Each structure stands twice: as structure tokens, then as C-alpha cells.
Amino acid sequence: MRILTRYLVREFLKFFLAATGGFILIFYVIDVLDRMSDLVRLQAPLGAAVLYFLFKAPQVLFYVMPVSVLVATLFILAILSKDNEIIALRSSGVSAHRFVLPLLAVSLGISAFAFMNNEFVVPAGNARSEEIWKTRVKREYSDVFFRRDKFWYRSEHAIYNILSFDYLRKTLGRITIYRMGPGFRPVGRVDALKGQWIDGRWRFTDVVSRDFLPDGSARVRSEKAMTIDLPETPESFKVIAPDPSTFSYTQLQRYVAKLRRDGYDVTKYLVDLQAKLSTPLISFLSCLIGIPFALRTSRAGQRPLGIFIAIAIASAYWFLLAYSLAFGHKGTISPAAAAWLPNLILLGVGGLFFVNVEQ
């Protein structure tokens, strides 16, 4: 069996790598064509465009791996069946369940790799590609990087009214800070054109500071630049709907915990948090669903039908996952159910067919 295991793993990985390369190429061709009009209209530098697509590669790899696993599983078993090698193995007393175990083990390893990729590489790549698109392609620099309607942020000692926030560059745009004293009574106000996080402190420019005195008057002073010690850091202002794809699981977990402490609704982020655990397993489930249909029958005329059914079930899974996550984001179903229910359904379907596969 060791020889058979090495053979199956080697051939499986060949198909997997070939399919992965092909799907990545197809993805980039479609993405480049889709972005081409914007790149030409914005006269984007070639280097910036190349870097933008390059930093998206870890996310693209994460997307295509489950499909590549399914294709590799179907192809290698179809070839073995076509050459009557599966019949020979069964005749020698090796069950179908036994000789496909190496494929399941490799696909589980690919799922583990997918999680590690999604945890340590994808977030940084997505953040960098987004930064390049906004700053070097669209030329939206720090004061308009995350521009939107003004948002409010309340802490224990202040209320912030901020026009824009650039987390990557650690800058705030057009800030008003209402400083609060005992009993949450206003004791001062600070208006600034820009704030920059430098060496663990906020440095503001074009500042007008007002201290509210007990007699009801105010002491006003203006400064071109002023460094103010505030308990809030750039992490504090990430409440302006950051993209979960730029977070690792642990980062998003800490972020959700902080939002909960501050009283914000975390339903959407809980769904994304659960999805970071559930989606890497799709590669393993793709292999599980592909095996029984590739082995469904030894008659060549029915093999294409089994392969077609496997692909149809896998496609249905992606639609189910998209709708399930959408319902989870809206709060219709629980975050855990939204992220894991499609996996459980695919596991049940694949497991049922796998158990009943021809011996």
C-alpha cells in the first residue's frame, strides 16, 4: 500500500497544481479585463497595477484551491477507473474506502494550508492591494482614503466626530474632540484639520483648542501643530466598517471583543469570524464529495454523469454558502449556523455517498 499511496498522492498533486495554475490564470485574465477600463482611465502606473494584482494572489489562491481539489480528485479516479486499476485493486482485496484515504489526507492537509494562508498571508496581501489601488491607482491619499459621512466615536473620556480615517497610514481627517470630565460633563473641545499617529501619540495640525471654564467662558488657543496624549489608538477607530478580509482570525476575534465591550452590534463580524474557520475546510469537503461520484460505477458510459453530478453539487454548495452568509449578516440565522450549515450539509451528502460507494 505504501507504493500505491505514494502513487496516488503524486498523481493527485500533479493534477491539483496544474488545475490551480490554470484557475489562477483564468481568474487573473478575467480580473485584468474587468479592471482594464479603470486602469486606462486613471492612467495607472504599470508598476502599481502589477503590484495590485500581485498582492491579491494569496486571496486568489484561497478561492481556487477547493475547485482544484475537486478537479484533481475527479480526474485521478476517472483515469484509474478507465485503466481498470480500481477493479484490479478491488480484486486483490483492497476496498475503495482504503485506497482513497491518502486523497482525503492530502485534501485535509490542503485545508490546513488554506487556513494558514488565510490567517497569515491573505490579510496583509488584501490590505496592501487595497492601499495600492486607492493611493497609487486612484490617487486618493490619506485625508480621503476611507472618506464617508462623518462618524461619531464615544470613549470613556471623549466624543469624536471624524470625517475620514486611514487605518493603514494611521491618520484622521477633520477631527472634533469633545473632552469630557466627571459625570461626562464637557470640559473642552479640540478641532484639527488632520491627526497623525506618530511614536505612540497623536500629532494634530491646524488645531483650535478650547477649555471650558467654570464660569461658562472658554479659553481658546490655536496651534499649527500639537501633540495630544489620548487613550485612543488607530485600533480604536477601526469601527468604521473595516474589511474583514484584511483581518486574520485572531485579529478579528480581538476586534469583535472590543466592539462588544463598547456596545456595538457585532453580528456581521461574528459571521465573518466563523467563516474564517469553516471556509478552509471546503477543500477537504470537495475531495469527499468527488470520490463517490468518480467511483460511482466502473462502466465508462456512466462516469461522466457521476462527474457532472459532483460538480453540480459543489456549485450548489457555493450558492448555498453565499446565501447562508448573507442571512447571517442580516441576523436572520445565527453566525455559527450561517458559516457552518453549508459545510454540514455537504459533509452529510458526501459522507452518505462515500459510505455507500461500491466496494
Tens digit of pLDDT for each residue in 12-49? 999 999 999 999 999 999 999 999 999 999 898 999 99
In a domain? residue 228: yes
The pLDDT score that the predictor gives to residue 318 is: 87
Q: Are residues 153 and 130 in the same domain?
A: no
Question: Which carries the bigger pLDDT value, residue 306 or residue 264?
Answer: 306
In a domain? residue 253: no
Q: Are residues 117 and 160 in the same domain?
A: no
Q: How far is CA 118 from the centre of its chain?
A: 7
In a domain? residue 258: no
Q: Are residues 78 and 166 in the same domain?
A: no
Q: What is the mean pLDDT of residues 326-346?
A: 94
In a domain? residue 109: yes
pLDDT band per the 50, 70, 90 thresholds, residue 260: confident
In a domain? residue 255: no
Question: Are the CB atoms for 57 and 51 separated by under 8 Å?
Answer: no
**Is residue 261 classed exposed, middle or buried when 0-12, 13-18 and 19+ CB atoms within 10 A define those classes?**
exposed
Q: How many domains does the chain have?
A: 2
Q: Are residues 192 and 339 in the same domain?
A: no
In a domain? residue 250: no
In a domain? residue 259: no
Instruction: Please give the model's pTM, rounded to 2 decimal places.
Output: 0.75
Q: How far is CA 169 from the centre of its chain?
A: 21
CA–CA distance, 2 with 48 (Å, rounded to integer): 49
Q: Are residues 11 and 160 in the same domain?
A: no
Strand spans (E) along 119-184: 151-154, 158-166, 171-180
In a domain? residue 241: no
Q: Are residues 211 and 118 in the same domain?
A: no
Give the dihedral of Cα atoms 146, 164, 230, 263; nearest 10 deg: -70
pLDDT band per the 50, 70, 90 thresholds, residue 280: very high
Identify the domain containing residue 160 by its residue range.
Answer: 147-232
Model confidence pLDDT, tens digit, residues 161-189: 887 676 767 888 788 999 888 887 899 99
